[in-house]
Structure 1
């Protein structure tokens, strides 16, 4: 039941939308702060400076780890999920992460996990997407137009700061920032998005029934 599960918001950043593009950041919002993994594409950067820049611009604790490659990032995420989530009562939640009609984050992750030949990390985890709940059960109409993207839904229904300074006006800016080695900016954008997702999750729990959260299993048919 959703009221007995710890809702963990997650979000990813990528180098683009194509199947050959890579995951650059994966972030989770936890009860005591955020856990973020990022990769550098093999580039040598001052990782301590990145962590400091992120901490200085957030209102919540953020634990950050850097990895040289996408494969290293994905393996680290798998290790974290296996250690932190599988023995806990956790519901993974996303915003347009995977709906019954599509979504972005989970399909992209499946493709990249397969490309890197890394085992799927989310065995035994249930998932619920917030987009259908926000779109169908709340009024997000502004000036006659219904808007339900993450930023707009958060501003309309939650307002205020998301707990992190988002350096971007559009999510697509994260692609350019990664290319330019502005890793702290990409991480800050990811933290802002998982904080927005977490806020919308808590709002939905306050005003919607348990049956409105359409849970699905992320456990694959064949286990590695």
Structure 2
């Protein structure tokens, strides 16, 4: 949108109950994607997983494997610091955070509090794709997959019909389908943001700065 390029963000979690944690955090940019996997103490070969995910998706990814939520959050913060430029990028997600709801950013904030980790996105502008695509006619669709299929369509690498399957996949240590699901969602989100940048007025993006007042 304008001079800013969208950076799409999405998380997977172990559920929705109070004890749930972040299991995957994914970010995609014009140069490729970074995905952090929290194995919750289990071993996983990042090289083999990267090869498998790139083979299945045809995408360029950088995979980082962590064994705890805290380490995942620290890794996400390091990636954001090194690769997200607030003069060139804005962060986006699908229902990540809208004016009266959202999932990804509120869950991320709680995880940062729980793990005593600093907020990973200081000084970055944010606009939610869900609030932008309502400027298109998508019929009865308001979910990410439905909106994407209506406006863009085409093949994707998502092995799941819904995000609930991602919970079981993490619990069972089925890393490749879990990573493919997250990758598909961040790629869909960014493609929708790019599309909106071509057709939707700047004023409708409702940008806000994610920097907390005490930073």
Q: Where does the alignment leave 5 or more consecutive residues of structure 1 unmatched?
A: none
**Matched residues, number:** 215
SS in 2 for 1:119: coil
Deviation of residue 53 (structure 1)? 1.2
SS in 2 for 1:35: strand
* 1:65 equivalent in structure 2: 64
* 2:16 equivalent in structure 1: 17
CA distance in 2, matches of 1:10, 1:46: 23
* 1:205 equivalent in structure 2: 197
Find the partner of 2:159 among 167, 187, 194: 167
* 2:112 equivalent in structure 1: 113
SS in 2 for 1:25: strand
Relative to the length of structure 1, the TM-score reads: 0.92
* 1:191 equivalent in structure 2: 183
CA distance in 1, matches of 2:37, 2:211: 24
SS in 2 for 1:139: coil
Deviation of residue 130 (structure 1)? 1.0
CA distance in 1, matches of 2:86, 2:185: 26
Choose 180-189 or 41-50, whichever is displaced more.
Answer: 41-50
Deviations 1:165-186 (A, max 9, x none): 1110111100000000011111
* 1:81 equivalent in structure 2: 80
> Quick check: 1:19–1:108 contact (8 Å CA) kept in 2?
no
What does 1:142-181 align with in structure 2 at a 5 Å threshold?
146-162=140-156, 165-181=157-173
CA distance in 2, matches of 1:86, 1:19: 33
Matched, 1:139 2:137: yes
